[in-house]
Structure 1
């Protein structure tokens, strides 16, 4: 199944976006109450829903790509930090740093990696060369700690996801490259296929491809679950992720449900098998 079959995204409002909160203020608030004779009025219901949503998502870290400030790393190279462990010290299973790195065509960059970290790279779009290795959209590259990395060369304008995490287990520490293959999608749930890029000990890096109206029920997280939206839109509970948006749900938390109106393509690092929980 090719990701080219993914329907064009249909814009949808984010219920927790600051822009939506303006609708709860004047003059809209008063307008909503006109002729509303029976309680509860719409404004109170919306406020209650927003409050519940904010409380439910308080344990998660959600970062809008557009709100992440770009930092110039070299000529034609910028990085947006999506996650940075407090004090630079990550607990087991937590990433130390997650960035989106953007390279202009022809740009070169020698990565400034944190020492002692396992690195995962996913090409979000474009093409880049790692020494003699050419990676294109949806190609995945995993490097063991302190493996070293040659200079990156942007072939086309490219965006790359870069995850750096402490070493937990040195077994199977060889470098791994997984190229995009439209035939390597496995059924996961109704309307959802996935591709396992790497896994060990119940932890995995995966791509999920969801059709419009697909859903995943309530589930818990045995490992930190990181989600990066590549295309389309997905609701994690009431939090809407659009392309480039990122969320980390720490181990021990749960999502009440995942759904999409538009369909989408999502990269995740977390549990190989979700802990599906009854309502």
Structure 2
């Protein structure tokens, strides 16, 4: 730009600033009738009360909330829920940290949220899933680079249970009964509804563990839970009714409770373990 063009641009900016000031000087709030104010306030309070009552039976643990406990050198965990078939926790490994061999008392499922875990020749990266049936034995778990993982069905938090698993790890056998599902695999995703995909990870006659992938605009109707249902938001954010859950948030919907309709404005990836439910689109 030359000097003349710069001068014109400067004049335009000055004129716009003067116009903005004139408009602001002559703006004044529009009085709202008291009845209208009262109605809006009552409506808002009623909505808040209804939302609080709807979510009263749900256990929600935000990613930044909760207390961390040291497990061993370089490894700490945070309990999300103490269930009847083991606890659900977040577990964090510093680079180079690990756990000694142990034998599982419950069906244990794990998802790497960040970093990586190594179990002998097995390499698990972000969003990879691993399941170990009861009685199966883990070899040493290590993390070269550091890791954060979600575990459910673990004895962590129960001192006697941890001791039982460690002692069981000293015995041979049960080495090959675990299984893994890798996020990079594009297989086995089912189209459940417009903008919603489901991938079954593990199931038995009572429970099913799945990934749900939601895209912008996705919606699913609410439903009752015949068993306790756990949900971990792995990526993105999702609404259950008017409650927003974001990556790292955990929610338990006890049997007989509802979360609210599912909806997604952008995208989300969820891990859900509960009863086998055919969600209508």
Question: How would you bin the TM-score normalised by the shorter chain?
Answer: 0.7 to 0.9
- Cα deviation 1:202-226 (Å, max 9, x = unaligned): 5211111111121111212223211
Corresponding residue for residue 237 of structure 2: 233
What is the Cα deviation at residue 97 of structure 1? 0.6
Which of these residues, 92, 96, 107, is aligned with residue 97 of structure 2? 107
- Cα deviation 1:217-247 (Å, max 9, x = unaligned): 1212223211101111111122211111111
- Cα deviation 1:173-220 (Å, max 9, x = unaligned): 942222223422221111111211111225211111111121111212
Extract unaligned runs of 5+ from structure 1.
1-33, 167-172
2:231–2:271: 8 Å Cα contact kept in structure 1?
yes
What is the Cα deviation at residue 99 of structure 1? 0.3
What is the Cα deviation at residue 276 of structure 1? 5.1
Normalising by the residue count of structure 2, what TM-score does the alignment of the two structures yield?
A: 0.74
1:70 aligns with 2:68: yes
1:221–1:274: 8 Å Cα contact kept in structure 2?
no
Corresponding residue for residue 183 of structure 1: 186
Extract unaligned runs of 5+ from structure 2.
1-30, 156-175
What is the Cα deviation at residue 59 of structure 1? 1.6
Corresponding residue for residue 260 of structure 1: 264
Correspondence 1:203-222 to 2 at 5 A:
203-222=207-226
Which of these residues, 94, 98, 109, is aligned with residue 88 of structure 2? 98
- How far, CA to CA, are the matches of 2:101 and 2:193 in structure 1? 37
What is the Cα deviation at residue 84 of structure 1? 1.5
- Cα deviation 1:239-259 (Å, max 9, x = unaligned): 211111111112222233111
Corresponding residue for residue 271 of structure 1: 275
Higher mean C-alpha displacement, 40-49 vs 129-138? 40-49
Higher mean C-alpha displacement, 41-50 vs 198-207? 41-50
1:63–1:245: 8 Å Cα contact kept in structure 2?
yes
Which of these residues, 32, 37, 58, is aligned with residue 35 of structure 1? 32
1:110–1:151: 8 Å Cα contact kept in structure 2?
yes
**Count of paired positions:** 231
Corresponding residue for residue 169 of structure 2: none
Corresponding residue for residue 23 of structure 2: none
Kindly report the root-mean-square deviation, in angstroms, between the aligned alpha carbons of the 2 structures: 2.7
